[in-house]
């Protein structure tokens, strides 16, 4: 565990807070139970899913209404106190990490489903509504919400908006940004804006798309209108085992090249397979070096034809075993194993560090090979889980934070893997966001000109740098220091296709 490093933080704001004045102002606008200031009450908010970094905030607020959110923002803006919006804290990049001089704005109590429109196929919800709860509420109408992060039982739609979350079915149905029609947003000054609308397009700049994935740095989402889709007539999963990771990677490309767009196409390597099977007992082939899960959905006829074609493709690509789920129960068990991969790995290691890079699908075999080499070089085990269809990889680095220097070695290995993604034409994040975890690698993926445009957008929405400062976009000083560090490591000046360096 470590405190947030100063180099990760923003330019100084709110460093000399008069806590008594802040507490009095917050208690004047919120009920007694909606302002937390004692250490024992603040500790549950000290980190998100990236638990390696922890920090206690000055206070936590728990508003119940949009109006109370606006009042909190107005108070903090007038006193120049930084604000970090938070959902359930399932994020994995430190995006909801508090600031020592700031307030956490918890949206957990704004958790109502406001409307389900079965004719228009939409749902209007507050940000604290769980991802899975939307589909549960829409199921009686034969509808569901497509994006399904592995944490969907707990993660909230507000957090999904902040990180532009995906899930195992985003290959066919898209990320959060493709499934949202309208946002209600509170600005840093406490104003309420409506972005987007009920139609497929709207006039003016697409500020809604800009807000999605902005990691709480531009505004606070207080209401969301999402698209709902008809539940497919049929869904079926094929499980394929391989004795070689490269063969599995080639099979992914062959399925897409055949014109089949699976609802989900996931890959796990040997360590991840074993961990998930021990935890869930999903019926996985534990002796396999790699495994693919390919789900096809649609009409009965379409699914039947595609399943047969996928099975033949997998066999031609060298699968040692190809199995089709016998019924919906087995299909759900296959997916439960995949969605439980992260906690399953947590059972075999004191700690793990989850990375989130995205690469072109055809570079998958070489990236896996290089990741294995880096794993040996750093002396740390890596279990790999992928949204293989869209190239979003989640290497899980296993380590023990109780061993001196091991967290730092883990961070270094994670950085190397992310920079490898950039080197092959990919990106440093697919759905977890940048937060504080990937600040260094932002300096690798983008040149100073691009980063300055990001900073300009931030200034346009938040001139005082009060909304989740220090996350997402590094300062010029931070990048200068990191590039010098890389130069000392013998890597500065390498040509990275797609890296965006001038």
pLDDT digit string, tens, across residues 253-282: 999 999 999 999 999 999 999 999 999 999
**Three-state DSSP state, 394:** strand
* Nearest Cα residue to 215 out of 42, 379, 438, 53: 438
pLDDT of 362: 85
Helix, strand, coil percentages in the chain from 3-state DSSP, rounded to 5: 40, 20, 40
Cα separation, 145 vs 163, whole angstroms: 17
Q: Name which of 426, 417, 237, 403 is nearest 335 in CA terms.
A: 237
CATH topology classification for 6-106:
3.30.43
Domain with CATH 3.30.43.10 in the chain: 6-106
Query: Rounded to whole angstroms, how far apart are CA atoms 430 and 214?
Result: 13
pLDDT for 269 equals 95
What is the longest distance spanned by two Cα atoms in the chain? 70
Which pLDDT value is given to residue 494? 37
pLDDT given at position 17: 86
Pairing of strands 180-186, 220-227: antiparallel
Nearest Cα to 98, choosing from 58, 38, 49? 58
Radius of gyration, alpha carbons of the chain? 23
Portions of the chain given CATH number 3.30.70.2190: 234-344
Question: Would you call 411 exposed, middle or buried from its count of C-beta atoms within 10 A (0-12, 13-18, 19+)?
Answer: middle
Strands in 347-449 per DSSP E: 351-354, 357-358, 382-387, 392-399
User: At residue 397, what are phi and psi to the nearest 5 degrees?
Assistant: -90, 120
113, 8, 2, 12: which is closest to 55 by C-alpha?
2
Residue 402 confidence (pLDDT)? 95
- For the chain, which ranges sit under pLDDT 50? 5-14, 492-502
Partners of residue 144 on adjacent β-strands: 229
Neighbour-count burial of 249, counting CB atoms closer than 10 A to its CB (0-12 exposed, 13-18 middle, 19+ buried): buried
CATH 3.30.70.2190 correct for 234-344: yes
């Amino acid at each position: 565990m470590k405190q947030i490093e100063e180099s990760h933080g923003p330019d100084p704001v709110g460093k000399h807070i008069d806590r008594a004045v802040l507490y009095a102002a917050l208690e004047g606008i919120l009920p007694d139970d909606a302002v937390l200031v004692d250490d024992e009450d603040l500790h549950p908010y000290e980190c998100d899913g990236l638990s390696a970094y922890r920090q206690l905030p000055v206070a936590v607020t728990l508003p119940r209404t949009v109006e109370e959110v606006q009042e909190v923002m107005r108070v903090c803006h007038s006193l120049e106190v930084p604000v970090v919006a938070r959902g359930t804290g399932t994020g994995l990049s430190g995006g909801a990490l508090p600031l020592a001089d700031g307030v956490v704005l918890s949206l957990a109590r704004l958790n109502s489903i406001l409307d389900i429109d079965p004719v228009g196929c939409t749902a209007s919800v507050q940000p604290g509504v769980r991802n899975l709860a939307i589909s549960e509420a829409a199921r009686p109408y034969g509808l569901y919400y497509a994006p399904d992060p592995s944490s969907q039982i707990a993660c909230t739609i507000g957090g999904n908006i902040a990180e532009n979350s995906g899930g195992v079915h985003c290959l066919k149905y898209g990320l959060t940004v493709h499934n949202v029609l309208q946002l209600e947003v509170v600005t840093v000054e406490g104003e309420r804006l409506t972005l987007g609308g009920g139609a497929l397009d709207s006039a003016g700049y697409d500020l809604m798309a800009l807000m999605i994935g902005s990691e709480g740095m531009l505004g606070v989402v207080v209401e969301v209108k999402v698209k709902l889709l008809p539940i497919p007539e049929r869904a079926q999963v094929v499980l394929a085992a391989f004795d070689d990771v490269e063969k599995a990677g080639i099979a992914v490309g062959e399925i897409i090249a055949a014109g089949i767009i699976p609802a989900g196409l996931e890959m796990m390597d040997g360590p991840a397979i074993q961990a998930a099977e021990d935890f869930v007992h999903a019926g996985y082939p534990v002796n396999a070096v790699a495994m693919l899960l390919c789900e096809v959905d649609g009409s009965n006829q379409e699914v039947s034809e595609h399943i047969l074609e996928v099975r033949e493709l997998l066999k031609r690509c060298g699968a040692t075993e190809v199995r089709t789920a016998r019924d919906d129960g087995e299909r759900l068990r296959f997916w439960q194993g995949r969605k439980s991969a992260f906690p399953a790995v947590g059972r075999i290691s004191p700690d793990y560090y989850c990375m989130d890079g995205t690469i072109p699908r055809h570079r998958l075999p070489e990236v896996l090979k290089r990741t294995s080499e880096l794993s040996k070089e750093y002396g740390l085990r890596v279990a790999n889980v992928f949204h293989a269809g869209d190239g979003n990889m989640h290497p899980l680095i296993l380590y023990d934070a109780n061993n001196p220097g091991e967290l730092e070695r883990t961070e270094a290995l994670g950085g190397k893997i992310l920079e490898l993604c950039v080197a092959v034409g990919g990106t440093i994040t697919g759905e977890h966001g940048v937060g504080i975890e990937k600040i260094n690698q932002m300096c690798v993926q983008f040149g100073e000109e691009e980063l300055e445009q990001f900073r300009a957008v931030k200034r346009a929405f938040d001139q005082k740098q009060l909304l989740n400062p220090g996350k997402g976009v590094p300062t010029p000083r931070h990048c200068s220091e990191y590039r010098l560090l890389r130069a000392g490591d013998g890597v500065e000046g390498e040509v990275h296709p797609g890296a965006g360096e001038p």
